[in-house]
Amino acid sequence: YNLHNAVSVQTCPSNIALIKYWGKYEGQIPANPSISYTLNNCRTNTEMEFFADEKFSVQTFLGGNEELKFASKIEKFFQSIEKYLPWILSGKYIIRTENTFPHSSGIASSASGFGAIAKCLMDLDEKFSAAETHNFRLKKASFLARLGSGSACRSLYDGLVVWGETSEVAQSSDFFAVQYPGEDVHSVFRNFNDWVLLIHEGEKSVSSTVGHGLMNTNPYAESRFAEAHTNFKILKTILKEGDLHGFIKLVEHEALTLHAMMMMSDPAFILMKNGTLNVINAIWKFREETGLPLFFTLDAGANVHLLFPSNGTEEEIKTFIIRELLPHTQNGGVVKDVMNF
Ligand code: PMV
């Protein structure tokens, strides 16, 4: 390695899981395979400045303000990945990040945040040594991002992305994410909207780290993990055939299963709010009355991700969302994103 002062500027989007990762083993190994859409507008932009030959330390700024808690998290993360990036502790870092979505909106920034950090690290690695190919570095960025936050490893690729070994997807791995083959995805799934309704802004009551841990004693965990594998098989056919009806059913079932697992944990916890349930019921009523393809998924929080394809019906759906669903949010908050690939 030829270490020298260097700076890397990277951007990384967030992602939303369709088949959820919930439960993990030692070493950040997922208990089941997951698949997500990579978003476009919800991003983290990160500038990483490296000062060679200085004592190892990490200073972080979020939107211009120094963040001490985040710095110590990143410091620990860097120490934990030294075996994969031998030069990482030989300098000082100043890291400046900003999110393109509202701070404390309840939209998880860990996926885009760790994705961007991993990209910066692999960019610095390239500046210090020309030993590897671009594809290898991308895969390694996904590998490193996974160690920061599991779901972050899926943010390194566009479109539909798989993390966790499954016989349904060639090259899939527990250690890094891979792109789902685009040729196996019907056109109806290639231009999709994700409007995030900000039902409840602010910190959630139970972190995802604690939530994953509670799967270790959840009596339904094994059947959940098995179901995720089965759902992969079902989803593969749905994606190939363009079965929008089957997609809606599966994606909503996955979201509700994630939250059902929380309710069946010991101690039990509930991250949905009244607004979450009101929106879900309003979506189901709308679908029953109009037959239009508006449906939802949930992350580990109260916000509702509204999913609908760009297939000619989206204007009517958008009007409904603005008139009927926005009133259920805390401050009329909605973050509009799209997936195109
Ligand atoms: O990446 P983590 O450890 O924050 O876990 C997030 C898990 C979910 O967002 C709830 C589901 C997923 O697959 O992204």
Give the C-alpha separation, 178 to 139, whole Å: 8
Measured from the Cβ of residue 327, the count of other Cβ atoms closer than 10 Å reads 12
Give the C-alpha separation, 276 to 329, whole Å: 9
**Residues 23, 139 within the same domain:** yes
Q: How many domains does the chain have?
A: 2
Give the C-alpha separation, 78 to 197, whole Å: 34
CATH number assigned to the domain comprising residue 140: 3.30.230.10
Q: Is 33 in the pocket of ligand 1 (CB under 6 A)?
A: no
The encoded tokens of residue 33 equal 């395979």
Residue 47 lies in a domain: yes
**Residues 22, 136 within the same domain:** yes
**Residues 88, 208 within the same domain:** no
Residue 189 makes CB contacts below 8 A (sequence gap 6+) with 160, 239, 242, 247, 309
Q: Is 150 in the pocket of ligand 1 (CB under 6 A)?
A: yes
**Residues 161, 226 within the same domain:** no
Give the C-alpha separation, 41 to 52, whole Å: 34
Residue 1 lies in a domain: no
Residues 38/161, Cβ–Cβ less than 8 Å? yes
| Sign of CA pseudo-dihedral 14, 20, 23, 29 | negative
**Residues 220, 138 within the same domain:** no
CATH number assigned to the domain comprising residue 226: 3.30.70.890
Q: What pLDDT does residue 104 have?
A: 67
Last residue of a domain, one of 119, 150, 184: 184
Q: Ligand 1 centroid to 330 CA: how many Å?
A: 23
Residue 69 lies in a domain: yes
The pLDDT profile of the chain, 341 residues, written as one tens digit per residue, is 899 999 999 999 999 999 999 999 999 999 999 999 999 999 999 999 999 989 999 999 999 999 999 999 999 999 999 999 999 999 999 999 999 988 767 777 899 999 999 999 999 999 999 899 999 999 999 999 999 999 999 999 999 999 999 999 999 999 999 999 999 999 999 999 999 999 987 777 899 999 999 999 999 999 999 999 999 999 999 999 999 999 999 999 999 999 999 999 999 999 999 999 999 999 999 999 999 999 999 999 999 999 999 999 999 999 999 999 999 998 889 999 999 99
Q: What is the ipTM of this complex?
A: 0.99
Q: Ligand 1 centroid to 50 CA: how many Å?
A: 30
**Residues 11, 120 within the same domain:** yes
Last residue of a domain, one of 150, 169, 184: 184
Q: Ligand 1 centroid to 150 CA: how many Å?
A: 7
Residue 103 lies in a domain: yes
**Residues 123, 209 within the same domain:** no
pTM exceeding 0.90: yes
**Residues 62, 112 within the same domain:** yes
Give the position of tokens 């969302």.
321
**Residues 158, 198 within the same domain:** no
Last residue of a domain, one of 141, 157, 184: 184
Question: Hey, is 254 helix, strand or coil?
Answer: helix
Q: What pLDDT does residue 103 have?
A: 72
Closest CA to 45 of 89, 92, 8, 94: 8
Q: What pLDDT does residue 201 have?
A: 79
**Residues 124, 256 within the same domain:** no
**Residues 272, 206 within the same domain:** yes
Give the C-alpha separation, 97 to 64, whole Å: 8
Query: Which domain does 140 fall in, by range?
Result: 6-184
Question: Hey, is 1 helix, strand or coil?
Answer: coil
Q: Following CA atoms 116, 338, 286, 325 in sequence, which dihedral angle do they give, to the nearest 10 degrees?
A: 60
**Residues 118, 226 within the same domain:** no
Q: Is 300 in the pocket of ligand 1 (CB under 6 A)?
A: yes
If you write DSSP's letter for every residue of 139-202 in order, what string do you get? HHHHHHHHHH-GGGGGGGSSSEEEES--TTSTT--SSSEEEPPGGGS-GGGSEEEEEEE-SS-S
Q: Ligand 1 centroid to 183 CA: how many Å?
A: 27
Q: Is 299 in the pocket of ligand 1 (CB under 6 A)?
A: yes
